[in-house]
């Protein structure tokens, strides 16, 4: 069976032109997908999870109902649960996560805390000038990628959305000017018209120098970049017809964090005095934007929400996953569609490994190795339907290509909700 227009479920690019061949309930071929996409779809059966409960240090296989029952018991009896992950599943499941967090008085957070959380902080202060990716494809004649490596993290971005596509007003590559700014050269520099290698940890100063230059102030060499180069870049940005600023974890994770994004957002906003300029964050996971969207519309905030008082309270740094775990506050955790043991700092991961942790995931992950309860689920976008939100906020409907013996995340969460309610 051949299915066309399949949205990919790896990165925030959410390319939806995949053509996938399915045979005997297994994905055999993926056309148009990048290496990451191929990796996900062709390996969807690998390392599959199974229902299990850790007894005396070892994971023991149980029935799905038993695993769900144990999870519900843990959550029902908890003083302060943590619900975390959300980014690698479909929107319906995320809604269930919020519902469950509210029932349990939990703290709920998505992986955005350790990704583009600082971007939200900047939106709270400065706002952001954005456009959907088709605007980039159709109009952009100036592109700047700052602190991100799309060649490795969003491999089809250049071709599909930004540098190479044939758009309404930009037909050829040569009509676009590509600048890459990073602390080191990466494969993303390969086709750049201009590359700046900035001193690690000094992006804020460089962004500020650019702002100053754009506004006509004198500047000096900054962050390892010569004054002439900064001034040239500023000029190019000011005189383009439609510029786009993309950024990634090189800005959100680096010293300054949200202040870096504020500087970038202010830069883009200031440029609108002279020309049309927008920005789009390079979101990592395929539905991390959706996780943010749901948390915003149900709870008012993009991440780091606490329900202990019976209503949403927001405080990044207090209720963000790393902090709350490092301070050893939660007494249990429900991990959905994420692998925190693989990506949280040691102190946080340690606490997670020492409290009863429930993991709902189609695969065995690092978090499975420390989990108290392991619950397998169908894979959103491969064996379960739903919706997902692209990095620019566009929502697409995912497809179910194969069937799975296990229910979807949403169905499992619904069962847990019913059992917790009793």
Partner 1 sequence: MLLVTGRTVRQGVASEIGKTGEEYSKNTAVVFLTRNDMELCSLESGDHVVLKTSFGSVVVRCEEGRWGRDGIAFIPYGPWANLICGSDTQGTGMPDYKGIEVTVERTLESPPTQERIARLLRGVQ
Partner 2 sequence: MSLIVRGGMVYDPHNGLHGERKDIFISHDSIVEECDGDVIDARGLVVMPAGICIHTHIAGNKVDYGRMMRPEDHRRYFEKKTNVTRSGVGYSVPTTFLTGYRYARMGYTTAFEAACPPLGARHAHEELADTPIVDKGIYTLFGNNYFVFKYIQNEEQENLYNFVSWLLGVTKSYTVKVVNPGGVEMWKWGKNVSSIDDPIENYNITPREIIENLVEVVEKRRLPHSVHLHCNNLGQPGNYSTTLDTLKAVRGRRLHLTHLQFHSYGGEDWEDFESEAPRLMKYINGHKNITFDVGQIIFGDTTTMTADGPLQYNLYKETGHKWMNLDVEMETGAGVVPYNFNPKNMVNAIQWAIGLELFLMARDLERICLTTDHPNGGPFHFYPKIISWLMSRKTRNEEMARIHKKARERTSIESLTREYSLSEIVTLTRLAPSRILGLSRKGHLGVGAEADVAIYDFCEDRIEESFSRARYVVKGGKIVVKDGEVVSHADGKTYMADAKGEETDHIRETFKKYYTVSLSNFIIQDKEIARPEVVPCG
List residues binding partner 2 (CB under 8 A): 4-5, 7, 16-17, 91, 95, 99, 102, 120, 123-135, 137-139, 160-161, 166-169, 241-242, 269, 272, 275-276, 278, 292-293, 296-302, 307, 309-312, 314, 387, 389, 393-397
Contacts of 94 (CB under 8 A, 6+ apart): 86, 287, 290, 291, 294, 295
Helix (H) or strand (E) holding 332: strand 332-336
Nearer of residues 80 and 314 to partner 2, judged by Cβ? 314
Q: Which helix (H) or strand (E) holds 187?
A: none
- The contact pattern for partner 1, residues 253-272, with x = CB under 8 A and - = no contact, is xxx-xx--------------
Report how far residue 50's alpha carbon sits from residue 22's, in angstroms, rounded to the nearest whole number. 23
Site string (276-305) toward partner 1, x via CB under 8 A: --------x------------------xx-
Stretch that binds partner 1, among 60-68, 90-98, 107-115, 395-403 (CB under 8 A): 107-115
- Give the binding-site size for partner 1 (rule: CB under 8 A): 70
Distance of alpha carbon 133 from alpha carbon 147, whole angstroms:
19
From the list partner 2, partner 1, none, partner contacted by residue 187 (C-beta under 5 to 8 A by kind): partner 1
Q: Name which of 311 and 328 has its Cβ closer to partner 2.
A: 311
Strands 276-281, 305-306: parallel, antiparallel or unpaired by DSSP?
unpaired
For residues 10 and 283, the answer to whether their CB atoms sit within 8 Å is no
149 binds partner 1 (CB under 8 A): yes
Name which of partner 2, partner 1, none residue 311 binds, using a CB cut-off of 5 to 8 Å depending on partner kind.
partner 2
Q: Are the beta carbons of 240 and 183 closer than 8 angstroms?
A: no
Among 66, 141, 350, 411, which residue interacts with partner 1 (rule: CB under 8 A)? 350
Per the CB < 8 A criterion, the answer to whether 74 and 372 are in contact is: yes
Distance of alpha carbon 384 from alpha carbon 337, whole angstroms: 13
Report, in Å, the least distance between residue 332 CB and partner 1: 15
CA distance 342 to 217: 45
Distance CA 310, CA 153 (A): 38
Q: Which is nearer to partner 2, 69 or 393 (CB)?
A: 393
| Identity of the residue, 257 or 363, whose beta carbon is nearer to partner 2 in the bound complex | 257
- Determine the Cα–Cα distance for residues 332 and 336; give it in Å rounded to an integer: 13
Side by side, which strands form the sheet with 18-23? 2-6, 18-23, 26-31
Instruction: Rank residues 142 and 286 by Cβ distance to partner 1 and give the closer one.
Output: 286
Label residue 43 left, alpha or beta by phi (over 0 means left) and psi (-120 to 50 means alpha). Answer: alpha
Strand pairing of 107-110 and 81-85?
A: parallel
Q: Which does 242 bind (CB under 5 to 8 A by kind): partner 1, partner 2, none?
A: partner 2
Q: Under the rule (CB under 8 A), what is the footprint of partner 1?
A: 10, 35-36, 38-40, 43, 46-47, 57, 109, 113-114, 117-118, 121, 149, 152-153, 155, 183-187, 189, 197, 200-201, 249-250, 252-255, 257-258, 284, 303-304, 316-318, 320-323, 325-326, 339, 341-350, 352-354, 363-366, 368-370
């Amino acid at each position: 069976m051949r299915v066309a227009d399949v949205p990919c479920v790896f990165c925030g690019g959410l390319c939806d032109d995949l053509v996938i061949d399915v045979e005997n309930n297994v994905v055999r071929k993926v056309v148009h997908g990048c290496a990451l996409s191929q990796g996900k779809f062709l390996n969807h059966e690998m390392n599959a999870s199974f229902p299990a409960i850790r007894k005396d240090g070892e994971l023991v296989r149980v029935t799905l109902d038993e695993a769900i029952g144990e999870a519900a018991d843990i959550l029902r009896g908890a003083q302060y649960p943590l619900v975390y992950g959300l980014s690698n599943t479909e929107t319906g499941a995320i809604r269930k996560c919020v519902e469950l967090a509210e029932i349990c008085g939990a703290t709920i957070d998505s992986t955005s805390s350790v990704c583009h959380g600082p971007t939200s902080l900047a939106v709270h202060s400065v706002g952001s000038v954005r456009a959907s990716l088709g605007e980039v494809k159709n109009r952009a004649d100036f592109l700047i990628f700052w602190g991100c490596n799309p060649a490795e993290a969003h491999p089809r971005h250049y071709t599909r959305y930004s540098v190479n596509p044939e758009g309404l007003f930009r037909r050829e590559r040569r009509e676009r000017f590509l600048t890459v700014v990073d602390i080191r050269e990466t494969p993303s520099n390969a086709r750049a018209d201009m590359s700046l290698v900035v001193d690690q940890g000094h992006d804020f100063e460089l962004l500020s120098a650019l702002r100053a230059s754009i506004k006509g102030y004198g500047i000096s060499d900054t962050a390892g970049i010569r004054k002439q180069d900064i001034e040239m870049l500023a000029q190019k940005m000011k005189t383009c017809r439609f510029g786009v600023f993309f950024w990634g974890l090189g800005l959100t994770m680096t010293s300054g964090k949200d202040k870096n994004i504020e500087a970038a957002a202010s830069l883009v906003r200031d440029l609108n005095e002279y020309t049309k300029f927008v920005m789009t964050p390079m979101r990592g996971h395929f539905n991390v934007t959706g996780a943010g969207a749901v948390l915003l519309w149900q709870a008012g905030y993009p991440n780091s929400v606490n329900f202990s008082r019976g209503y949403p309270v927001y405080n990044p740094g207090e209720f963000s996953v790393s902090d709350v775990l490092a301070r050893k506050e939660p007494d249990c955790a429900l991990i959905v569609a994420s692998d925190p043991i693989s990506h949280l700092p040691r102190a946080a991961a340690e606490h997670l490994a020492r409290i009863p942790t429930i993991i709902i995931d189609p695969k065995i992950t690092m978090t499975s190795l420390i989990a108290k309860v392991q619950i397998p689920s169908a894979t959103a976008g491969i064996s379960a339907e739903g919706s997902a939100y692209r990095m620019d906020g566009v929502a697409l409907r995912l497809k179910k290509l194969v069937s799975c013996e296990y229910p979807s995340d949403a169905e499992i969460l619904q069962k847990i909700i019913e059992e917790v309610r009793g």
